[in-house]
């Protein structure tokens, strides 16, 4: 099957020019050259693709240098796994050597050897990602599909290539639910059974790799449906028993990229208890920003029973003070505890902005002697303002006078 017209139709002109240029350079180096991975899947599905993955049979690094030189790009990085990353204008591409991999221990990175096209496709995660399109001059556009990826693509099925796949690399479990959820594909029945069988192999994968794949899920428009599947298949719990996801977020959450990441961490850790926080942070190797957010979410949950009982605004304030507004907002958005929501929103919208006009400096300037009572006084002054006992500067002065000297 030749799909050159499909590539031409769905890649943009610049990408097509680059593929043609690489094809010509590959001839000079006497190597076959293929478009592989996600770009093949995407163009065959009738859509454009961002990054391009190119596979060559040998001399990848010399080819990468020649591509950069002749097509006006920059080689960004060359890895020991035989991949060169390049930018040509706005287009990012990887040029890799065909390789074969063996896994000695589950979860370990594979041992990588130079291999054939067939071996390279056979090491991939799913049939829909294991196709190649030839870019060689004499066979440009020929589809190479040894694993029947095309029919899985047409039928909307995510299927592993062999039954040890998840044991070799359990991050593929997270990738499976991402690819299925992204397109509304089904997990092939056998593949789903393998996930259930092998989900415990997630224990063997480093926190860094899990975090990388989980954050790719967070950024998908249908992330909540994916996480629901991850919950139902006990994937999250295999990462850490206290992780869970139980929300039906219908509309995609729209917010800043970094905030979105944090919000999803909050959502999957919301059922965790304070004792779970450190182990989760360690398991996922969370940085200080993510760790602080998770900490806050779990703290809010622990605070909520007292919050619901709080009678005064000042109590609400002092319970929630110091917690990140984004964590409070996320908690309030996704809880159905109306009383907690009311208190959190009141804090976010009003209480946290309340500041008495009298400050520590103004008290000192008025001759109040330095000492710990200044802090206590300001705290009671703030509480009085929050609770509406005083509402003007004059009343603040009066309050201070009464507190310090017991009368007008
Ligand atoms: P996306 O559109 O999400 O970027 P992609 O398929 O390009 O999808 P990448 O993670 O960039 O995803 O991977 C590129 C290709 O490398 C995949 O299509 C797949 O063939 C292969 N691959 C990536 N990760 C794995 C893995 N853990 N196991 C096997 N093959 C993998």
pLDDT digits (tens, 9 = 90+) for 301-322: 999 999 998 889 999 999 999 9
141 and 37 belong to one structural domain: yes
Give the chain's radius of gyration (CA, Å). Answer: 29
| Residues spanned by the domain of 281 | 274-353
Average pLDDT, stretch 219-248? 91
Q: Please give the angle made by the CA atoms of 191, 178 and 283, to the nearest 5 degrees.
A: 95
Given 93, 123, 155, which residue is the final one in a domain? 155
Percent pLDDT > 70 in the chain is 96
Regarding the beta carbon of 125 and ligand 1, being less than 6 Å apart is answered yes
Residue 258: predicted pLDDT: 74
Q: Is residue 243 domain-resident?
A: no
pLDDT grade, residue 400 (50/70/90)?
confident
Rounded to the nearest angstrom, the distance between the alpha carbon of 70 and the centre of ligand 1 is 27
Given 138, 155, 172, which residue is the final one in a domain? 155
142 and 2 belong to one structural domain: yes
| Mean pLDDT over each residue of the chain, to the nearest integer | 90
Q: pLDDT (tens digit, 9 = 90+) per residue, 59-99? A: 899 999 999 999 989 999 998 778 999 999 999 999 999 98
96 and 39 belong to one structural domain: yes
305 and 372 belong to one structural domain: no
12 and 124 belong to one structural domain: yes
Q: Is residue 198 domain-resident?
A: no
Per mean pLDDT, which range of 29-38, 331-340, 347-356 is the poorest? 331-340
Q: How many CA atoms lie within 13 A of 106 on its CB side?
A: 14
Q: Which tokens in the block code for residue 224?
A: 């909540």
Q: Is residue 50 domain-resident?
A: yes
Residue 76: predicted pLDDT: 94
Helix (H, G, I), strand (E, B) or coil at 142: strand
Q: Is residue 259 domain-resident?
A: no
**CA-171 nearest atom, ligand 1:** 27
| Distance from C-alpha of 11 to C-alpha of 101, rounded to nearest angstrom | 30
Rounded to the nearest angstrom, the distance between the alpha carbon of 333 and the centre of ligand 1 is 33
Strand duo 91-97 + 111-114: pairing: unpaired
Rounded to the nearest angstrom, the distance between the alpha carbon of 138 and the centre of ligand 1 is 27
pLDDT grade, residue 333 (50/70/90)?
confident
Regarding the beta carbon of 110 and ligand 1, being less than 6 Å apart is answered no
Residue 250 has pLDDT above 70, yes or no: no
Per mean pLDDT, which range of 27-31, 34-38, 154-158, 393-397 is the poorest? 393-397
306 and 384 belong to one structural domain: no
144 and 285 belong to one structural domain: no
292 and 150 belong to one structural domain: no
Per the document, the length of the chain is 408
131 and 34 belong to one structural domain: yes
Rounded to the nearest angstrom, the distance between the alpha carbon of 105 and the centre of ligand 1 is 21
Residue 253: predicted pLDDT: 63
349 and 375 belong to one structural domain: no
Residue 161: predicted pLDDT: 97
Which H or E run contains 144? Answer: strand 143-144
The domain total for the chain is: 3
Q: Is residue 101 domain-resident?
A: yes
286 and 389 belong to one structural domain: no
26 and 84 belong to one structural domain: yes
Q: Is residue 393 domain-resident?
A: yes
Q: Is residue 212 domain-resident?
A: no
**CA-178 nearest atom, ligand 1:** 3
Structural contact between residues 29 and 137, judged by C-beta atoms closer than 8 angstroms: no
| Distance from C-alpha of 204 to C-alpha of 217, rounded to nearest angstrom | 20
Residue 249: predicted pLDDT: 57
Rounded to the nearest angstrom, the distance between the alpha carbon of 367 and the centre of ligand 1 is 69
**CA-40 nearest atom, ligand 1:** 18
Structural contact between residues 77 and 136, judged by C-beta atoms closer than 8 angstroms: no
Q: Is residue 177 domain-resident?
A: no
pTM for this model (two decimals)? 0.88
């Amino acid at each position: 099957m030749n799909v050159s017209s499909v590539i031409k139709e769905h890649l943009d002109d610049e990408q097509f020019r680059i593929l043609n240029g690489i094809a010509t350079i590959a001839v000079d180096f006497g190597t076959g050259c293929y478009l592989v991975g996600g770009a093949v899947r995407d163009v065959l599905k009738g859509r454009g693709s961002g990054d391009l993955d190119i596979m060559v049979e040998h001399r990848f690094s010399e080819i990468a240098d020649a591509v950069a030189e002749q097509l006006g790009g920059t080689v960004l990085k060359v890895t020991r796994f035989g991949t060169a990353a390049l930018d040509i204008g706005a287009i990012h591409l990887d040029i890799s050597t065909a390789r074969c991999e063996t896994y000695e221990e589950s979860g370990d990175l594979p041992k990588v050897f130079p291999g054939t096209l067939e071996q390279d496709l056979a090491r991939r995660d799913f049939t829909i990602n294991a196709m190649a399109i030839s870019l060689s001059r004499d066979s440009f556009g020929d589809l190479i599909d040894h694993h029947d990826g095309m029919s899985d693509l047409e039928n909307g099925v995510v299927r592993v290539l062999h039954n040890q796949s998840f044991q070799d690399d359990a991050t593929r479990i997270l990738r499976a639910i991402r690819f299925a959820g992204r397109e509304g594909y089904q997990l092939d029945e056998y593949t789903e059974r393998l996930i259930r069988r092998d989900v415990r192999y997630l224990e063997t994968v480093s926190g860094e790799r899990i975090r990388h794949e989980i954050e790719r899920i967070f950024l998908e428009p249908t992330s909540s449906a994916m996480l629901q599947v991850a919950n139902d298949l006990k994937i999250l719990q295999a990462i850490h028993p206290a992780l869970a996801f139980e929300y039906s977020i219908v509309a995609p959450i729209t917010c800043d990229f970094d905030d979105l990441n944090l919000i999803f961490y909050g959502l999957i850790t919301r059922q965790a208890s304070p004792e779970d926080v450190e182990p989760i942070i360690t398991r996922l190797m969370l940085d200080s920003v993510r760790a602080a957010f998770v900490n806050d979410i779990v703290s809010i949950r622990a605070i909520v029973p007292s919050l619901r009982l709080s009678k005064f605004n000042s109590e609400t304030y002092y319970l929630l003070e110091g917690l990140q507004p984004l964590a409070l907002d996320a908690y309030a958005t996704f809880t159905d505890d109306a009383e907690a929501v009311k208190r959190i929103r009141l804090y976010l919208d009003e209480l946290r902005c309340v500041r008495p006009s009298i400050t520590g400096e103004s008290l000192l300037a008025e001759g109040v002697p330095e000492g710990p009572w200044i802090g206590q006084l300001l705290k009671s002054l703030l509480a009085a303002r929050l609770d509406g006992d005083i509402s003007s500067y004059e009343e603040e002065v009066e309050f201070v006078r009464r507190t310090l000297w017991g009368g007008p």
